């Protein structure tokens, strides 16, 4: 295990080195939404020596190469919440969707029903006490971090530190890489005629001074 030191960042490795411990047949949790660890995902999918790796996740942002056509023998995506990058793969039968309440996802890992070999996380930089924050996406990530055999981290200098029960101790991390990139954002598309009509109808139902 890594221990916090003043020069902790000197222990960083490349993304490729960070994911080198993943073996065929592994079950991996991938942090999601704005906290999707893109560098780790890209490094994992750059490998061509893996088979039957199951990737558990909620909504992910950015590319999802583990669900790309032609990678079915190597990776199987298991969506606990299906977002845009995975909908086509699920619809075409190249990925799985598990209907589950968000509140039940931590128990999926904590109970051992799904035994994770690794958790890929995007965290804030550690504080002086060695505490790292799950930042913008807590969901099932903390339970994954607590139960996975390997905790592999992408420390993003731009990941904000958020409060609450979302701390991952630096001492629990097995390998990490450093990045400094903008967080994933949800691009809002301009509304069309239908959306504008819905807005007009709703606006007529809301009186001045109303609380929404």
Q: What is the pLDDT of residue 84?
A: 86
Blockwise average pLDDT, block size 10, the chain, 212 residues: 75 98 98 97 98 97 95 97 92 96 97 98 94 95 98 98 94 97 87 91 91 86
**CA–CA gap between residue 189 and residue 141 (Å, rounded):** 29
Query: Can you give the pLDDT at residue 9?
Result: 94
In Å, how far are 123, 190, 191, 199 from 196, measured between CA atoms? 39, 10, 6, 5
pLDDT at 3: 55
What pLDDT score does 106 carry?
Answer: 97
**What ranges do the domains of the chain cover?**
8-205
Q: Span 8-205: which CATH code?
A: 3.40.1080.10
* Consecutive H or E run containing 84: helix 84-91
Angstrom distance (rounded) from CA 20 to CA 16 = 6
């Amino acid at each position: 295990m890594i221990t916090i030191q003043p020069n902790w960042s000197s222990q960083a490795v490349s993304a490729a080195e960070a994911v080198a411990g993943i073996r065929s047949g592994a079950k991996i949790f991938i942090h999601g939404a704005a906290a999707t660890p893109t560098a780790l995902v890209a490094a994992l999918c750059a490998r061509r020596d893996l088979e039957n790796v199951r990737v558990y996740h909620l909504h992910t942002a950015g590319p999802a190469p583990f669900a790309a056509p032609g990678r079915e023998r190597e990776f199987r995506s298991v969506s606990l919440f299906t977002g845009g990058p995975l909908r086509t793969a699920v619809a075409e039968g190249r990925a799985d969707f598990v209907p589950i309440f968000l509140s039940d996802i931590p128990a999926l890992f904590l109970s051992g029903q799904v035994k994770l070999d690794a958790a890929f996380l995007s965290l804030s930089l550690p504080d002086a006490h060695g505490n790292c924050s799950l930042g913008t996406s807590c969901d099932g990530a903390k339970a994954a971090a607590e139960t996975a055999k390997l905790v592999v981290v992408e420390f993003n200098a731009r990941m904000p530190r958020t409060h609450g029960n979302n701390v991952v101790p630096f001492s629990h991390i097995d390998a990490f890489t450093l990045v400094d990139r903008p967080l994933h954002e949800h691009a809002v598309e301009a509304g069309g005629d239908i959306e504008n009509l819905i807005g007009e109808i709703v606006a007529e139902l809301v009186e001045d001074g109303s609380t929404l």
